Amino acid sequence: MIYKKSFEFLRAPIWMKYIKLKTLYSKLVTKVYYKKMFNRLGAGSFIRSPLIITNPKSISIGDNVWMGVGLRMEAQTGWFGQIFTPDLVIEDNVSIEQNATISCANRVVLGRNTVISFDVFITDNDHAYEKIDVPVMLQPLIVKKTIIGENCFIGSGAKLLAGTVLGKQCIVGSNSVVRGEFPDYCVIVGSPARVIKRYNAQSGHWERV
């Protein structure tokens, strides 16, 4: 088996050799370096470098999770005197594409088998703005739980804001701005996002709302 794989590698074109070597390197870095950083990093999980992490001990990653290049994960423990206990949970078989950002000061959960497309932003915190003549960045953070159910698909460029709760197998359209609670089996699009389709168990079809 080893001989066969070595022979196939030698015969492969240069671009394929480059991809295989880069993948092998990323797997090695995941096992040797990243595994020690997180609260948990499950078996078979794979991180493409580079990765920007804040407070990795507040982050738990399940089995067979794929994380693309440029992923940023922030577990915010404090903000100008505020103290937080973040809990960022990525469940089994989640796929996160390149350049996604996840910010957590309270609790963020990505349910199992969920796909996060590229350039997606997910957060459980907002900046207060009500105090006039005080820069927004110096005002307190407002934190809420953000939960994504299992089997969801989050389209590219979508923004999931603090307090968003998605049920099972929700589909979020590209570039949607989502806030609020949404039921199982629905299609959510727009800015602000709204439900445009739901699955009808009686008819067995996805129907427009």
Q: What is residue 48's DSSP assignment? A: P
Rounded to an integer, what distance in angstroms lies between the CA atom of residue 187 and that of residue 194?
8
Q: Do 99 and 69 contact (CB within 8 A), yes or no? A: yes
Report the share of the chain in percent with pLDDT over 90.
77
47 strand-pairing partners:
67
pLDDT reading at 208 higher than 90: yes
CA distances from 96 to 15, 77, 82, 126, 202 (A): 24, 23, 30, 23, 33
CATH number 3.40.1390.10 is the correct assignment for the domain at 33-208? no
37 strand-pairing partners:
none
Residue-level pLDDT at 145: 97
pTM: 0.90
Q: Where are the domains of the chain?
A: 33-208
pLDDT reading at 17 higher than 60: yes
Question: Tell me: the pLDDT tens digits for 29-60?
Answer: 888 888 889 999 999 998 887 788 899 999 99
**If we measure between CA atoms, which residue out of 113, 9, 17, 116 comes closest to residue 67?**
116
pLDDT reading at 177 higher than 70: yes
Question: Tell me: the pLDDT tens digits for 155-175?
Answer: 999 999 999 999 999 999 999
Q: What is residue 74's DSSP assignment? A: E
Q: What is residue 59's DSSP assignment? A: E
Rounded to an integer, what distance in angstroms lies between the CA atom of residue 62 and that of residue 54?
18
**If we measure between CA atoms, which residue out of 175, 130, 183, 132 comes closest to residue 154?**
175
Rounded to an integer, what distance in angstroms lies between the CA atom of residue 38 and that of residue 161?
24
Count of Cβ atoms closer than 10 Å to residue 1 Cβ: 5
Question: Tell me: the pLDDT tens digits for 96-126?
Answer: 999 999 999 999 999 999 999 999 999 999 9
Q: Do 185 and 207 contact (CB within 8 A), yes or no? A: no
